[in-house]
Amino acid sequence: MNSSQRTNIRKHLEEKIAELTQRIQSRDTAVENCADDNEYASRISEQKINLALHVREAELIAALEETLGRVDYWDFGICEDCGEEIAIARIKANPTTRLCVSCQSRMEEDQLGHVV
């Protein structure tokens, strides 16, 4: 992976972190005055969904920040299982990945109990 690719990945990570941070900050999780019990129940359900999304996005931000910290290391973009280079398209699609497509597929098959 060359320095231009690393710069592009770093920029992509920073943009994604900023987007998720903005989304978290703008999400309404308050339940205010409700006209009746049905509206209150609806708002409570909506609040639960928003809180779940908040947690999920916060976890993704943490993973992206951790990845951002690894971009400049020599082993970034190298599969942790086989040691081969991970395709740039895969890194752009899933920057937190640490496995190439082949190793990821094999791991998922093993988890399902299917041996290749």
Task: Kindly report, residue by residue over 20-29, the tens digit of the pLDDT.
Answer: 999 988 876 6
89 phi/psi in degrees, rounded to 5: -60, -40
pTM: 0.74
The position carrying tokens 């987007």 is 19
Mean pLDDT of 83-112: 92
Q: Which of 44, 49, 45 is nearest to 27 (CA)?
A: 49
Identity (one letter) of the amino acid at 65? E
CB neighbour class for 75 (10 Å; exposed up to 12, middle 13-18, buried from 19): exposed
> Judging by beta carbons within 10 Å of its beta carbon (0-12, 13-18, 19+), is residue 91 exposed, middle or buried?
buried
